[in-house]
Amino acid sequence: MQRLGDFKLPHFFNYPPYFTLQPVRETREKQVQLWKELILDYCRSQKIFVISLEEDFPLFSNPVVERSLSHEARQVFLAALVNEGRAEWIDKSHKKCLILWLRIQDWADYILNFVKENGFEDSVMTIEDIRFGIETRGTELAGIDRGVLLRALKLLEQKGKAAIFKGTSADDEGVKFSA
């Protein structure tokens, strides 16, 4: 089975038409669906949060069959993710895309769950700790995008499950969880 890094690629990754934007509506719908799944799976496994259209993205080319997605195709697939709420355009010119392989709400739930399972209620953690600390190693939270984390925490804050406070510098930003 072919791999991209440690990610297992599906067999249709070697199917040349997969890299050509299909004109026929039904075929196109199927193709878009497959690409959306693939992008989300890959980003989740590689902890990728941002796809930039101006840079090469390894998933978008397959040297084995010598094909890569056209710019238009990439736009179409990312736009489809945005429409589904699984991605957001970071800039107005749609050149950078934030991939939400977990939705913000899902992140919020995940954090809450993590806090409960590890007994971190009523304790304080810094943002940096959550992102790169020992406690979160091996979980989805490890290496999480800073912006995404803050938005998830804000959601929790609105529900009264957390309180964000600023530290002396950006590194000291922290959050206190409550039961």
Residues that bind other proteins (CB under 8 A): 8, 10-12, 14-17, 19-20, 22-24, 26-27, 30-31, 33-34, 37-38, 66-67
Q: How far is the CB of 33 from other proteins (least distance, A)?
A: 5
Listing from the earlier edge strand, what are the strands of the sheet with 87-89?
A: 50-52, 96-99, 87-89
Cβ distance to other proteins smaller for residue 81 or 125: 81
Cβ distance to other proteins smaller for residue 42 or 177: 42
Pairs from 173-177 (Cβ < 8 Å, separation ≥ 24): 173/126, 173/127, 173/128, 174/124, 174/125, 174/126, 174/127, 175/124, 175/125, 175/126, 175/127, 175/130, 176/122, 176/123, 176/124, 177/115, 177/120, 177/121, 177/122, 177/123, 177/124, 177/125
Cβ distance to other proteins smaller for residue 1 or 134: 1
Q: How far is the CB of 166 from other proteins (least distance, A)?
A: 44
Cβ distance to other proteins smaller for residue 50 or 76: 76
Q: How far is the CB of 18 from other proteins (least distance, A)?
A: 8
Cβ distance to other proteins smaller for residue 10 or 143: 10
Q: How far is the CB of 112 from other proteins (least distance, A)?
A: 28
C-alpha to C-alpha distance for 125 and 142, rounded to whole angstroms = 14
Q: How far is the CB of 31 from other proteins (least distance, A)?
A: 6
Locate 146 and state its tokens.
């800073």
